Amino acid sequence: MLQPDAGFHPDRGSNYTSEELGRFLTGLRVRHPVGRAGVRYDNAMAESFFSAIKNEWLHRFVFTIRAKAKRQVIRSIEGFCNHRRPHPALGYRPPLGVLNESLSTRAAA
């Protein structure tokens, strides 16, 4: 089940930029952000994230069914990436630590 206002981050291939797909995603209430042609940073963050998950975590496993793969991706993101993996854009701190620090600062203000 898709969450309303979920985002779809494709490549710039013609199959992903078609009007037909745009209408389909709009009908599902899914955002379809596609940047300008030639802008190489459009998906850089998402590509980097998924590359890290694959290289650091998922390539260690062989999945026989999709449900197991899905559980392992969730485990990787929730158990490692958000809680323990240092992120260079966050001063080499894990995302959950930065979020908690931000919420604490707001609560104290």
For range 59-83, the mean pLDDT: 88
Each residue's pLDDT tens digit, 5-25: 676 666 666 666 678 887 888
| Residues 63 and 70: beta-carbon distance below 8 Å | no
Q: Residue 6 is encoded by which pair of tokens? A: 């979920």
In the structure, how many helices (H) and strands (E) does the chain have? 5, 0
For range 87-108, the mean pLDDT: 88
For the cut 70, the answer to whether the pLDDT of residue 80 exceeds it is yes
For the cut 80, the answer to whether the pLDDT of residue 34 exceeds it is no
For the cut 70, the answer to whether the pLDDT of residue 64 exceeds it is yes
- pLDDT at residue 8, as a whole number: 67
Each residue's pLDDT tens digit, 40-52: 555 677 777 788 8
| Residues 83 and 94: beta-carbon distance below 8 Å | yes
Residue 76: count other Cβ atoms within 10 Å of its Cβ. 19
SS3 of the chain: helix, strand, coil, percent, to 5: 55, 5, 40
| Residues 95 and 89: beta-carbon distance below 8 Å | no
